[in-house]
Amino acid sequence: MPYDAFTHVDYWVFDLDNTLYPPQARLFDQIERLMAAYVMRELNVDAQTAHDLRKKYWKEYGTTLAGLMHVHNIDPDPYLHEVHQLDLSNIMAVPALRAAISALPGRKIIYTNGSRAHGTGVSNALGLDGVFDAIYGVEDAGYTPKPDHAAFQKVFAADGINTERAAMFEDDIRNLEIPHQMGMNTVLVGPHVTAPHIQHQTEDLTAFLSQLVRG
């Protein structure tokens, strides 16, 4: 790993779900079930239709919520509260991850397409309380989700991030294209994918960061 590629970085931006914890925790399975239940009830549709709409809105609008707001004028706050009522017992604290993030020089934030409360709850379950300087949710971007350029712009401006001196860690390849355009170092957390806007990749965030801070 080219450690010198990160020597200029003063701002470290982390996605939350399937980035700070591995997909094997199956937390997003719970979120998907809760989203489906919400869509079924609010739109009065069956399970298959709810599933199809979730996939369609995620693809076309970036998140299910964005599609529900755009097409059905859904109030975002009750939705965000309901779909993040999760059992976090599968989320385990990783002391090595806490140590590695704590050792990074500069400002560290979480930026999730979930709610700010979700970001706080999951990061605390991971044993990362007090590690991050700020946690931003989709509400901080005016409910506009990643990968929309306006979402990144609003959150980064609110935090005062100099994107030319920043790195972004994400599991969703779509959400790294705009950060790359903004001059950020991009790190895909997950299986290998070849794309011009992906500069670094890892399937083990703890190992990647641990090597980085020792580099």
**How much is the pLDDT for 105?**
94
CB 67 within 8 A of CB 56: yes
DSSP 160: T
Looking at domain 27-83, its CATH architecture is: Orthogonal Bundle (1.10)
* Structure confidence by residue, pLDDT tens digits, 145-202: 999 999 999 999 999 999 999 999 999 999 999 999 999 999 999 999 999 999 999 9
Who's near 114: CB < 8 A, 6+ residues apart? 16, 17, 31, 80, 84, 137, 138
* Structure confidence by residue, pLDDT tens digits, 96-146: 999 999 999 999 999 999 999 999 999 999 999 999 999 999 999 999 999
Strand order across the 185-189 sheet: 134-136, 107-111, 11-14, 166-170, 185-189, 200-202
Average pLDDT, the chain: 94
Nearest alpha-carbon partner for 176 in 189, 164, 186: 186
- Could you tell me the two tokens for 72? 């059905």
- The model's confidence at residue 214, banded by pLDDT at 50, 70 and 90, is confident
CB 113 within 8 A of CB 84: no
Predicted TM-score (pTM) of the model is: 0.93
Cα–Cα dist 184/94, whole Å: 26
For the domain made up of 3-21+92-214, the CATH class stated in words is alpha beta
